[in-house]
Chains A and B, each alone.
Chain A
Amino acid sequence: MKIKEKIAKLPEKTKIGGIIAVFAMIVFVLILFMEKQEKNYIQVSENSYNMAFCELVDYVQNVEIYLSKALVSNSAEHGAETLTRVWREANLAQSYLARLPISSNELENTQKFLNQVSDYTYSLSSKNIQSEKLTQEDLENLAQLHTYSQELANILEQLSVDLNAGRINWSDLTEEKSSIFTQEVSNLSKDSFGSVEENFHEYAGLIYDGAYSEHITTQEKVGLTGEDISKEEAEDVVLEYLQNEDIREIQYNGFAENANIPAYEFYAKINKNGKEENINLSISKKGGYIIFANLDREIGAEILSQEDAEEIGRKFLEDRGITQMKSTYYTKQSGIVTINYAYYQELDGQQVVMYPDLIKVKVALDNGEVLGMESTGYLNSHHERDLAEIKITKEEAKKNINPNLEILSEGLAVIPTEWKTEIFCYEFRGKVQDREFLVYINVETGKEEDILIILNTENGVLTQ
């Protein structure tokens, strides 16, 4: 008998029962399948968390070991090697720390500690590479960092015992409960860690040559000069900026006291060819400078060239009394070009480009309208510089350049370092095998300070 006939012969009830049974089975299989999938995903994430944790433990232990070696080392060469290791291990440790499923604010101090160990030892190793010995102060800082690293290594060691005994379950941690780990580690940062936060406050005044040194954010803003202005005066600045616009409404959005540069915030609605556009402006309390202005709109067909845009931007700055600005690089996005202008100073008839004194101007390529400006760099660092005496001639400087570099142009420039200091350099633009480079040679020491690659991309001319 064929199955079909069999089914047909079955009573109606059984048939419905059969359909329900089949349906139930499908649902059952589906649930089983999904459960298995979920289990797999949980396992995969557990594994990757476990891996990150084990890596973290290892790297922190290595930080401790190499820091203690660095404290004992007495030769600059070997010291540099050991410190480079600390840098590497601490950098990897912080990267694995960030992968643990613990919210960032719980481990902020630990993260900061590892970042600063990494950054500080990097700066000390470059000191050692130049055959400078570490000072007593450096050694004291290292000893202090070493004590922290020991504490951290111990606590992590303890936690890894828990982990190996199966007492830590990462998927529990991702839920918003307080956990063994966060409790341990926040205790660690409060008590046994010796209050990392408090101790790092002592570093606030310590100026080491590193990107994560505390003084970077608190540096004096030398370009921000003048008297404090009132909200009404700030509004005048806004009106002046928008003098050629059909203003519909100006809205005050409060005073941002805690901003890097305390500022009055404004929104303006302006009418552009029958369309209402929003522009927002931030005006510094001190001196009444435009920190930034920004308008976003859709851009029509591009009819302007890069050169036209550069000229428009330069004119725009000049009209606002910002003169001696030279366009350096630009980026392009959706018909808008953003041009970097750097201040230049004359020295014996030569232009010295001050790269830190930077203003960016956004120009729309459809009608040449200026859409915005950003002047944080300029406000942070603009001032008339007392340039160091040039001790190396251009010819001598050229001798320090790789002979394969075919020099295309040469000039003078002040370049910022990663830690916001400045170096006065010769700037050589050159080519090696169709790749363009900028090479910076210190005018006092002849040292090669930096090399940048010029990238000509469809999104602009960038340096890296």
Chain B
Amino acid sequence: MREKNKITGAIFLLTILVMVLLNFDRNHTTVEATNASESDVQLIARAINGEARGEPYEGQVAIGAVILNRVKHPSFPNTVAGVIYQSGAFTAVADGQINVPIASGSTVVKAARDAINGWDPTGGAIYYFNPNTATNKWIWSRPRIKTIGQHIFCK
């Protein structure tokens, strides 16, 4: 009996080991490539999903709009991917939230499409922050435009 226990114990430990290793790897796999013509919509949708999936619809469109406002702005990279993956730009990129799969029935793809079609609820914002969690003092000094959901949007 004891032998069996030992074997089960070993198997149990091995399973944990394997699971840890697998998980370890999963966190670092790159995101799958998307259809080229749709890739910007998908990337923006994933960024919205990572940054604001709990926000009201307008707040989701707003995140997409900020990304696109940055692409057009001289102080930021000139492509969607450049803006989204710029170092320190989005917490969802830093903590991997951007790689969380989009839930079915989620509105983030629609929100991304609206932003690309020109809806900009932020009125031209290039920054936003959550006043409850923002640690960067500098961000408070930016001229405010408006608050949508949990986020304050600024120039």
Contact = CB atoms under 8 A, between A and B. Distances in A.
How many chain B residues sit at the interface, stated as a range, is 35 or more
B153 to A, nearest CB: 9
Given A280-B121, A333-B110, A259 B146 contact: yes
How many chain A residues sit at the interface, stated as a range, is 35 or more
Interface stretch (A134-142, A250-258, A435-443): A250-258
Contact of B72 (A100, A109, A211): A211
B17 A26 contact: yes
A258 B58 contact: no
A217 B75 contact: no
Nearest to A373: B119
B124 A260 contact: yes
A336 B113 CA distance: 10
B52 interface: no
Interface string B25-45: 000100000000110000000
Contact of A104 (B13, B87, B120, B144): B87
Nearest to A97: B77
A422 B1 CA distance: 87
A19 B2 CA distance: 12
A7 B6 CA distance: 11
A98 B124 contact: no
B57 A292 contact: no
Interface string B117-150: 1111111100000000001101100011111000
Contacts of B114: 294, 338, 362, 372
B119 A103 contact: no
B123 A296 contact: no
Q: Which of A119, A256, A362 has the most CB of B within 10 A?
A: A256
B25 to A, nearest CB: 9
A37 B24 contact: yes
B74 A336 contact: no
A103 B76 CA distance: 11
A399 B103 CA distance: 54
A115 B155 contact: no
Contact of A278 (B13, B57, B110, B135): B57
Contacts of A108: 75
Interface in A292-333: 292, 294, 296, 331, 333
A212 B154 CA distance: 20
A105 interface: yes
A307 to B, nearest CB: 20
Given A23-B13, A256-B146, A104 B89 contact: yes
Given A292-B120, A360-B118, A459-B38, A102 B109 contact: no
A95 interface: yes
B129 to A, nearest CB: 12
Given A19-B6, A360-B117, A30 B20 contact: yes
B69 to A, nearest CB: 9
Nearest to A256: B146
Nearest to B113: A333
Interface of A: 4, 7, 15, 19, 22-23, 26, 30, 33-34, 37, 41, 91, 94-95, 98-105, 108-109, 111-112, 115-116, 119, 174, 176, 211-212, 214, 217, 253-254, 256-261, 263, 265, 278, 280, 282, 292, 294, 296, 331, 333-334, 336, 338, 358, 360, 362, 372, 374, 376-377, 455, 457, 459
20 contacts: A91-B78, A98-B82, A105-B138, A115-B75, A116-B74, A119-B74, A176-B135, A253-B147, A258-B144, A258-B154, A278-B57, A280-B121, A282-B121, A282-B123, A292-B119, A292-B120, A296-B110, A331-B117, A333-B109, A333-B113
Interface of B: 2-3, 6, 9-10, 13, 17, 20-21, 24, 28, 37-38, 56-58, 61, 72-78, 82, 85-89, 107, 109-111, 113-114, 117-124, 135-136, 138-139, 143-147, 154-155
The 6 closest A-B pairs by CB, nearest first: A259-B123, A103-B88, A260-B124, A212-B74, A333-B113, A296-B57
